[in-house]
A and B are shown apart, each in its own frame.
Chain A
Amino acid sequence: MTPLAGFLLVAALLFSIGLAGALTRRNAILVLIGIELMLNAANLNLIAFWRYGPHPELLTGMMFAIFSIAVAAAEAAVGLGLVISIHRHAHTTDLDQMNRMKG
């Protein structure tokens, strides 16, 4: 197995773990944690392809990963702000109890 295949398999496993967490947990914060894991798995793919790709000196994959990290930070801030706002409104973060869109 080439090193790249190993990194891709780890990223696939991490993505699936994050997806399972996002789909099965009840706490909204844990769902966000699952989404963060999925984003990180994608970043690992980008960096691995940058490292073993034909032109690493062009820095394309590295730049994509760095911008992705910045966007993920913005996503985490807004997502956790929304969770806090929902908790203040509904007094719960249990997603199974949030079954209406009207406030």
Chain B
Amino acid sequence: MSTPNMVLLIVSGLLALGGALGTVAANRPLRAAVALLVNIVALSGIFLSLHAQFLAMVQLIVYAGAVVVLFVFVIMMVGATEKVPRTLRGLTPRTLSLVLMSLVALMLVFGVVYVAMPAQDLPEDYGTVMGLGAVLFTQAALPFEMVSITLTVAIVGALAVGRGRTPKEAEAAKAAEAARQLEGAERLAEERRISAEVSAHGGH
């Protein structure tokens, strides 16, 4: 591997790791979003080192340009700009998850890091717009169209979920909730009565 490539890889790799750690460990959500952005840009660099130019660009456009922006929108809307308070709730399962998952990841990392495979010559249009486009519109045409539909569905879904309730719907939901509470209380009372009867009869 050529030296510039290696340098690019190392820098991008370190930035990616740093950005990931920053996302995971950030105090405030907004800082986490910025760290994610750093990570994504670094990943774009990694793609470049792998000769996947088109993908690097797509990564920047879609991820950095849309997904992270969306995250920032929502953070602003929700108002989660303050420091996230730390609690001790659920400490044990969290610690357990942390330890085990770290072990698994470390095992993977140190298991594979020395593996190498024989290098091969790259085709002419490897990783270019033309090359990928040729595949996308011929062999992968169907998945390509499906992805369009998926995106449409996602839009509709997001709209539906995020719409919230009109006042009338809110009323109806409140009434339904009250009715459900009542029924639950009734059933509980009924069960208590039956079990009292059963134990009074001595289980006969």
Check if A and B associate.
no
Please report B residues at the A interface, Cβ cutoff 8 Å: none
